[in-house]
Amino acid sequence: DTAVSQTPKYLVTQMGNDKSIKCEQNLGHDTMYWYKQDSKKFLKIMFSYNNKELIINETVPNRFSPKSPDKAHLNLHINSLELGDSAVYFCASSQGTVDQPQHFGDGTRLSIL
């Protein structure tokens, strides 16, 4: 019944490794997002896809690469992980890009050792 689901929930890895986070939504929405919430709890948009097309690409290092195989999935791949990448990453979805509330997953807590 989970509307927006992310895997894994926790990710602990070494600096320099490459990792992926997966997101799936079963709400029938056409827009999906990746957010980063840092230790100060500030929630910031990273990317957004509408109908598999990238529409928002904030100032994010090239090491972060989103991929949307279809409207229901948006994955995030991170290369050469750095200490500063430690954060909680949230996936969200909405119907359309304007006015509509976004529905969030429960986050993936990434810890870099």
Partner 1 sequence: EDQVTQSPEALRLQEGESSSLNCSYTVSGLRGLFWYRQDPGKGPEFLFTLYSAGEEKEKERLKATLTKKESFLHITAPKPEDSATYLCAVQAAGANSKLTFGKGITLSVRP
CA-CA-CA-CA torsion sign (9, 112, 22, 93): positive
Does the protein bind partner 1 through residue 90 (CB under 8 A)? yes
Does the protein bind partner 1 through residue 43 (CB under 8 A)? yes
Bridge partner residues of 97 (DSSP): none
Question: What residues from 64 to 83 belong to the interface with partner 1 (CB under 8 A)?
Answer: none
Interacting residue with partner 1 among 16, 42, 51, 79 (CB under 8 A): 42
Q: Is 69 exposed, middle or buried (0-12, 13-18, 19+ CB in 10 A)?
A: exposed
Nearer to partner 1, 40 or 69 (CB): 40
Does the protein bind partner 1 through residue 51 (CB under 8 A)? no
Interacting residue with partner 1 among 67, 71, 73, 107 (CB under 8 A): 107
Nearer to partner 1, 15 or 28 (CB): 28
Q: What is the chain's length?
A: 113
> How many alpha carbons fall within 13 Å on the CB side of residue 56?
15
Does the protein bind partner 1 through residue 22 (CB under 8 A)? no
